[in-house]
């Protein structure tokens, strides 16, 4: 196979190295998904760099780790191979889903492709921006879609346990000067239309976040409770 141009070769190297963020990361993920030569270059870089991983001292996991893994097998795949993946499993399945959802601009190519597939199935209008909200342990727990007409929907991908006497408040952070702004409250996980009036137009990298708050919402007007999930908006493709 012929050589890649230097810029693509180094992009593949940086991707394997793990240093990319934002638009560059997004580009690398897209190329990995659709360009065989680029994918091969990435694999070559992973193999070149692999000996460096082996300089980490091995640490025998605690005994309970395998028990935890085994307990997860039943729920993560009912029937091997033949099982049709759930919406969440499809997201999960994409290697790119593992890539950072933070800091980046128009990142997460295949994540967005997967999310878009979900969204497109729901209606003919594709959102302008999509944010995948992750829980603290990295599960995709909700998707926020921002449409060109300004409409915003929050679609939970799993149930959220809300303690007695608490509600879920939805926040967005458009800029640091203004700080987080409440855009809605719900009592449990359900699809929700959000109100962005009085706010700027949504853009990539705006943060969406869900916290637990007292009934009636945060007493301070800023998030006070634990963060349930959060994620950054990215332009859909």
Partner 1 sequence: MTGLERYGSIENAIRAVASGDRQALRAIYDAEGARLNGIAFRMLRSRAAAEDVVQDTFLKLWEAAGRFDGRTGYGRAWLTTLLRNRTLNVLRSEARTELVDDFEPLGLETGSESAEERMTRLSDEHALKRCLEGLDAARRKLIVLAFTEGLSHGEIAAKLGAPLGTVKSWLRRSLLSLRECMG
Residues that bind partner 1 (CB under 8 A): 6, 9-10, 13-14, 17-21, 43, 45-62, 65-66, 68-70, 72-73, 76-77, 79-81, 85, 89, 92-93, 95, 98-103, 134, 136-138, 171, 173, 176, 180, 207, 209, 223, 227, 230-232
What span, in angstroms and rounded, lies between the C-alpha atoms of 105 and 27? 11
**Residue whose CB is less far from partner 1, 29 or 152:** 29
Shortest spacing between CB 50 and partner 1, in angstroms: 5
**Residue whose CB is less far from partner 1, 49 or 125:** 49
- Beta carbons of 184 and 172 less than 8 angstroms apart: no
Shortest spacing between CB 194 and partner 1, in angstroms: 17
Shortest spacing between CB 9 and partner 1, in angstroms: 6
Shortest spacing between CB 199 and partner 1, in angstroms: 16
Radius of gyration of the chain (CA): 20
What span, in angstroms and rounded, lies between the C-alpha atoms of 149 and 127? 9
- Beta carbons of 145 and 155 less than 8 angstroms apart: yes
Which tokens go with 175? Answer: 């800029």
Total length of the chain? 237
Which residues, at least 6 apart from 146, have a Cβ–Cβ distance to it below 8 Å?
Answer: 127, 128, 129, 130, 131, 152, 196, 202, 233
* E-state strands within 187-226: 192-194, 207-213
**Residue whose CB is less far from partner 1, 136 or 148:** 136
**Residue whose CB is less far from partner 1, 51 or 216:** 51
Closest of 224, 225, 181 to residue 202, by C-alpha: 181
Shortest spacing between CB 125 and partner 1, in angstroms: 27
Shortest spacing between CB 123 and partner 1, in angstroms: 28
Q: Is 90 exposed, middle or buried (0-12, 13-18, 19+ CB in 10 A)?
A: middle
**Residue whose CB is less far from partner 1, 150 or 226:** 226
**Residue whose CB is less far from partner 1, 76 or 148:** 76
């Amino acid at each position: 196979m012929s050589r890649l141009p230097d810029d693509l070769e180094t992009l593949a190297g940086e991707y394997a190295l793990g240093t990319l963020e934002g638009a560059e990361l997004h580009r690398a993920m897209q190329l990995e998904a659709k360009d065989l030569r680029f994918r091969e270059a990435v694999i070559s870089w992973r193999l070149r760099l692999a000996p460096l991983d082996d300089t980490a001292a091995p640490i025998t996991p605690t005994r309970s780790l395998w028990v935890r893994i085994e307990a997860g097998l039943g729920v993560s795949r009912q029937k091997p191979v033949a099982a049709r993946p759930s919406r969440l499993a499809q997201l999960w399945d994409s290697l790119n889903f593992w890539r950072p959802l933070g800091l980046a601009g128009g990142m997460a190519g295949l994540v967005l492709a997967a999310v878009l597939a979900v969204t497109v199935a729901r209606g003919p209008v594709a959102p302008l921006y999509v944010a995948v909200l992750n829980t603290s342990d990295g599960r995709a727990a909700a998707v926020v879609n921002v449409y060109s007409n300004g409409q915003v929907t929050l679609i939970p991908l799993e149930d959220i346990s809300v303690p007695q006497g608490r509600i879920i408040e939805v926040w967005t952070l458009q800029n640091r000067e203004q700080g987080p702004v409440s855009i809605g409250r719900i009592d449990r996980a359900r699809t929700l239309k959000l109100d962005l009036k009085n706010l700027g137009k949504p853009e990539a990298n705006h943060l969406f976040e869900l916290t637990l708050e007292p009934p009636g919402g945060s007493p301070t007007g800023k998030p006070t409770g634990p963060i349930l999930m959060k994620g950054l908006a990215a332009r859909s493709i």
